[in-house]
């Protein structure tokens, strides 16, 4: 079986993403369920990279047959991911603002968290 560089790099990246997810589970930052979903997602990407023939079913369902269409499709996927990433960043900023509102409310009520909690 002749492998292209793409077919080597993508599965390796997928394995890295899966290891990272399960590492987060070990550190109690991700649940087992979330890691399973993550593994399925990256497993699927690795599978498609190694066996492009599996996309034949997708092609029949979506009508994407040519390489040009596939490039547009991939581009859309990347754009979607970027939008998701921006949404998450905005949410993080909102969370930071909310943490300030909450800390201020507790302080005004005469209840203060210790320094360690404040940093969190």
The site for other proteins (CB under 8 A) is made up of 28-34, 36-38, 41, 84-85, 87-88, 91, 94-95, 98, 101-102, 104-106, 108-109, 111-113
The residue (of 8 and 86) whose beta carbon lies closer to other proteins is: 86
Residue 34 CB, nearest distance to other proteins (Å)?
A: 6
The residue (of 24 and 64) whose beta carbon lies closer to other proteins is: 24
Question: Contact, 24 vs 35, CB < 8 A?
Answer: yes
Mind giving me the DSSP string for 60-112?
HHH---SHHHHHHHHHHHHHHHHHHHHHHHHHHHHHHHHHHHHHHHHHHTT--
The residue (of 29 and 65) whose beta carbon lies closer to other proteins is: 29
The residue (of 3 and 117) whose beta carbon lies closer to other proteins is: 117
Residue 53 CB, nearest distance to other proteins (Å)?
A: 27
CA-closest candidate to residue 44, choices 80, 18, 5: 18
CA-closest candidate to residue 23, choices 14, 35, 13: 35
């Amino acid at each position: 079986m002749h492998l292209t560089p793409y077919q080597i790099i993508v599965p390796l990246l997928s394995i890295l993403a899966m290891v990272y997810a399960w590492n987060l589970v070990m550190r109690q930052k991700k649940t087992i369920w979330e890691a399973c979903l993550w593994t399925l997602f990256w497993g699927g990407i690795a599978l498609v990279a190694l066996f492009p023939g599996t996309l034949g079913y997708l092609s029949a369902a979506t009508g994407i047959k040519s390489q040009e269409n596939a490039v547009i499709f991939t581009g859309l996927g990347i754009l979607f991911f970027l939008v998701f990433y921006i949404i998450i960043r905005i949410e993080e900023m909102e969370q930071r603002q909310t943490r300030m509102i909450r800390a201020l409310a507790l302080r005004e009520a005469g209840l203060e968290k210790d320094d360690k909690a404040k940093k969190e």
